[in-house]
Structure 1
Amino acid sequence: MHTASEKMFATTSSSMENLAPVVAVGEQFCVPHVVDLTITGKAFRDHLTVTDTSGDVVFTVETVVSLFSHKLLLLDAAGHTLLTIKAKGITWKVYRGESKDEKDLLFKVKSKIHLININMELDVTMPINNNFNDGCDYKMKAKGLSSSPGNIYIGESNSIIAQSIRANKLFGCKIQARVNPNVDYAFIVALIVISEDYYSGS
């Protein structure tokens, strides 16, 4: 019998390939099997909860708002801050832990501006020797504001490392995510959180 997640991703999972390990946050978040996660949030998405297929909490996300900006905190199940995501305009910077130091900057995300802002496209850049180039190491794409699958690719290739299906609800949101084997699922959750921030127009 197929699980709900297997049915949900049945039409697209065949394009997910066995690729080299993808590590951005930590090797402890890379496992040799597919990871299915559910991300739920209430209205305004000020708090998100990430659970596994057993219903156990894996991560939570908190939003901290200041006068001119806001940041998102990705916490582990014990409540420790894994990542701090600082949002500014169409750019998000992701730091390790609660750090604000540039040496702890793990990756940057920037949204592409379309004349008609229907489709989402986020470019992810990783540092090389603490320097960022102008290229794109990973990309997240989704069509429209519906529950169309949002795919995360390696660079400009067609190699998919994770997928998500998003459903808006009257009093919140629900996202189903499937992460490829040996892909850092904390990294993928961070990208999905950023996509939610993008959609919320924060």
Structure 2
Amino acid sequence: MAQVHPDSIFSSPHVYIDHKFCSASATHFTVLKKSLLLNGKGFTVFNSLGNLVFRVDNYASISKNEVLLMDDAGHLLLTLRRKFFRKRWEAFRGNPMESEKATFSLVKSLGFSNKITANVFVNGVRKSKVWDYKIKGSCKSSWTIFTVSGETIGQVKRKEVKSDIVLGNDILNLVVEGRVDQAFVMGLLIMFDQIS
């Protein structure tokens, strides 16, 4: 079961999917928005040493309402399910039972700007209108995840190889702050990409 508890560094409840995906300092990843195993959509995530860390290989499946986030060995970390016409996604640790509550959920905010905003609720419960995390940005350029008090826990930008060369929309640079579960942030990245 995913652990959710307050952390003295962050004001929002902290979600831990697996402690092996937590680092004391900020961690950089390269995210390819494609599967290396299947001829279709997906995600393949490498750390700064070039080692595979996360993958999503099931975008070619019939069901577009469920996405599976796996580690490098193919172990299931999160099951992400779409609800309510792409405006809400729920995340469950591993392979959930029907009665299990979501570990966290993401809800697209209504608005008319060219930027997309989504609110994240820990435990998937929306007891009040107060969100635990917020994501702002555009999946085609950059976005940021921050807490209620404005602390940044993750950022995504299009990958640059030099200061004047920007790669395509399907290659991203992900930075996850220290003491934040990287699988949690990767789950948010996938859901935010889907609502975009």
Which category describes the TM-score, using the shorter chain as reference length?
0.7 to 0.9
Letter aligned with residue 124 of structure 1: V
3-state SS of the aligned residue for 1:136?
Answer: coil
Counterpart for residue 126 of structure 1: 122
Distance change (3 Å), C-alpha of 1:45 and 1:186: farther
3-state SS of the aligned residue for 1:65?
Answer: coil
- 1:38 CA displacement: 1.0
- 1:24 CA displacement: 3.3
Work out whether 1:73 is the aligned partner of 2:68.
yes
3-state SS of the aligned residue for 1:186?
Answer: helix
Query: What do you get for the CA RMSD once the two structures are aligned?
Result: 2.6
The ranges of structure 1 where at least 4 consecutive aligned residues each deviate by more than 4 angstroms after the TM superposition are 167-170
- 1:177 CA displacement: 0.8
Counterpart for residue 150 of structure 1: 143
Counterpart for residue 9 of structure 2: 19
Distance change (3 Å), C-alpha of 1:38 and 1:100: farther
Letter aligned with residue 46 of structure 2: T
Counterpart for residue 114 of structure 1: 111
TM (normalized to structure 2)?
A: 0.77
TM (normalized to structure 1)?
A: 0.75
**What percent identity do the matched residue pairs reach?**
25
Q: Does the Cα contact within 8 Å between 2:68 and 2:78 map onto a contact in 1?
A: yes
Q: Could you report, residue by residue, the CA deviation over 1:105-141 in whole angstroms, capped at 9, with x for unpaired residues?
A: 211110012134x2111100012xx854232001111
Q: Could you report, residue by residue, the CA deviation over 1:143-183 in whole angstroms, capped at 9, with x for unpaired residues?
A: x5642x3111112x22111111136976x601111111101
Letter aligned with residue 174 of structure 1: I
Q: Does the Cα contact within 8 Å between 1:140 and 1:153 map onto a contact in 2?
A: yes
Letter aligned with residue 159 of structure 1: E
Q: Does the Cα contact within 8 Å between 1:65 and 1:71 map onto a contact in 2?
A: no
Q: Does the Cα contact within 8 Å between 1:37 and 1:53 map onto a contact in 2?
A: yes
Work out whether 1:163 is the aligned partner of 2:159.
no
- For residues 187 and 81 of structure 2, what CA distance do their matches in structure 1 show? 12
Q: Does the Cα contact within 8 Å between 1:125 and 1:133 map onto a contact in 2?
A: no
3-state SS of the aligned residue for 1:191?
Answer: helix
Work out whether 1:176 is the aligned partner of 2:173.
yes
Moved more, 53-62 or 132-141: 132-141
Q: Does the Cα contact within 8 Å between 2:92 and 2:101 map onto a contact in 1?
A: yes
Count of matched residue positions in the alignment of Structure 1 and Structure 2: 173
Distance change (3 Å), C-alpha of 1:45 and 1:152: farther
- For residues 181 and 87 of structure 1, what CA distance do their matches in structure 2 show? 29
Work out whether 1:32 is the aligned partner of 2:18.
no
